[in-house]
Amino acid sequence: MNLSRADMARPFKAIYTARPQLSLKIDDGEPRSLPPPPPVLSNKSTICKTLFKKNGDADARVVNAASQRGFKTLLRKRRVKMKNRFFLILGTLVITAAIFVSCSTSIPITVDHPPKMDTNGIERLTIKPFEGQGDIARTLTEIFREKINGTGAFKVVDYAAYKPNAGIADAILTGTVTIYTVQDGSHQEKRTQTATDGKKYEVQATVYDRRVSLDFTYRIIRDRDGMVVSNGERRISRAASDTGDNRSDLQSGLAMAKRAAESALSDFNREVVTWTSRENLKLEKETSRDKALKARMKEANALVKAGGVKAAQETYARIYAETGSLAAGYNAAILALPLDGLDVSISLMSNLVQATGYPKARAELARLEGFRSEIEAAAANQTGVSARDLAIKKAADGLIAALPARSRISLLNISTSEIDMVDVVIREITETVIAAGTITVLDRQNLSVIEAEKQYQASGEVSDDTYVSIGKMLGVETIVTFSITGQGGQRKLTIRSVSVETGKVLYGESTEI
């Protein structure tokens, strides 16, 4: 990408350009002059006020904790007084940063991640006995009981006392053993032994072995509607083996299967409760031979180590704007995370990648965007938005944007599995599209539509030419097809819209549901 130095520097100049000052009262009652908040990236942003204090010198900063894409994030305003420590609260993702002095300047952050499954609102959980082969099914039931109790986040309800929709439990954890096999065998191998006279010789020895294969699924189902929670189903496949000189020395197949299951579920807590990780935001060093540039970078680095992170970020931004130093641009974007929020940091890092293609910036951008994805997922969980609801909204918005105004369309269910769920998806998308008022949807009770769907579902094979011919028969301009593939957490909703006139695909989307 060919950009001028001015184009490259423009997004960073806002960091150090003088702006009107704000006034705030600190604990001592004296007004202090504050830098203004960073640029607002979303109309639905929330401002979180964070107080920094160093050497008795209170310095308040306004941190933009905007959450994009229309998700509303609940933030609680509070003041935190800690030396050289910054708290950034984003939805349910909490990032704590602290500056440490070391040979390589870095900012360690502690990140509280939301659970992978949507367990929001679940406090009482009952465990239904696993289905499948008796011994291993009972063993898995007990393993999950111990795991759930170990989280400390749920009250385990005895399944014998559970009644559906009676308010006894909020959700049910259940599962099925699909494969459990134990195979015994033996083989010969050469071994070296030492005689009493010290001479070594080889002998043939029989070695006994036992192999276990285990495959099971588990899921969490909400009591109120009988639906699997968002991202709430897993399939586990594991194998274990043991060897010994005597068959009696081998572990039992059940013990080996239990060990394999416990190993597979070692990160189970991350599935159902908030979990914490530690990561480092490492600042880049200047690698050029420009002594003056290196001196300026060294001064900025010293500011970070001394706790003057805001001043350091402004210095790095100025250096990048004036010299194009990749390290300076990278550091300015990184320091925006504890100072200005995730959205600002992503914006600056994205500008750096687009302008320079800097590989390290590209890798860090991917990590920051991963944080934002977790924020959005957490926001969806907090507001009760399921993966299905998100998929439906995304599909409806995509269709409305892709199809010409006043189009006449027909929505067809061509799925060979999960047919009832696809019907629900089509019904809800139809309501959304009709409410938009720009597209006409053919009534799905039309006999021709019903017959076409039956034909597709029976054959499982559909060509675009077939769509065109059916569309002409129905008198519509566009055919939109819906199908679901996969199972559990791998299930996806696929949508395609085909122009009846040209046979071209106007819109295509595949989304987890």
Q: Is the CB of residue 219 less than 8 Å from the CB of residue 472?
A: no
Selection from 244, 278, 291, 238 nearest residue 261 by Cα: 238
For residues 428-440, one letter each, b for 16 or more C-beta atoms within 10 angstroms of the residue's C-beta and e for the rest, the string is: bbbeebeeeeebe
Looking at per-residue pLDDT, the higher value among 67 and 322 belongs to 322
Q: What are phi and psi of 303, to 5 degrees?
A: -65, -40
pLDDT at 386: 58
Asked whether the domain spanning 124-272 has the same topology as the one spanning 5-113+278-375, the reply is: no
**pLDDT, tens only, 121-174:** 899 999 999 999 889 999 999 999 999 999 999 999 999 999 988 889 999 999
CATH (residue range 387-512): 3.40.50.10610
Mean pLDDT for 427-456 is 77
**Where do the domains of the chain lie?**
5-113+278-375, 124-272, 387-512
Instruction: Give the CATH number of domain 5-113+278-375; options: 1.25.40.10, 2.60.120.260, 1.10.3720.10, 1.10.357.10.
Output: 1.25.40.10
User: Residue 109 carries which side chain, given as an amino acid letter?
Assistant: I
Say whether pLDDT at 411 is over 70.
Answer: yes
User: What is the torsional sign of CA 140, 141, 142, 147?
Assistant: positive
**pLDDT, tens only, 302-355:** 988 888 888 999 999 999 999 999 999 999 999 888 788 888 899 999 999 998
**pLDDT, tens only, 357-405:** 999 999 999 988 888 877 776 666 555 555 667 778 888 888 888 888 8
CA-CA distance, 157 to 396, in Å (whole number)? 40
CATH 3.40.50 for domain 124-272: no
For residues 260-293, one letter each, b for 16 or more C-beta atoms within 10 angstroms of the residue's C-beta and e for the rest, the string is: bbeebbeebbbbbbbeeeeeebbbbebeeeeeeb
CA distances 280 to 100, 105, 106, 334, Å, are 11, 10, 6, 11
Say whether pLDDT at 476 is over 80.
Answer: yes
pLDDT at 15: 59
Q: What are phi and psi of 169, to 5 degrees?
A: -140, 155
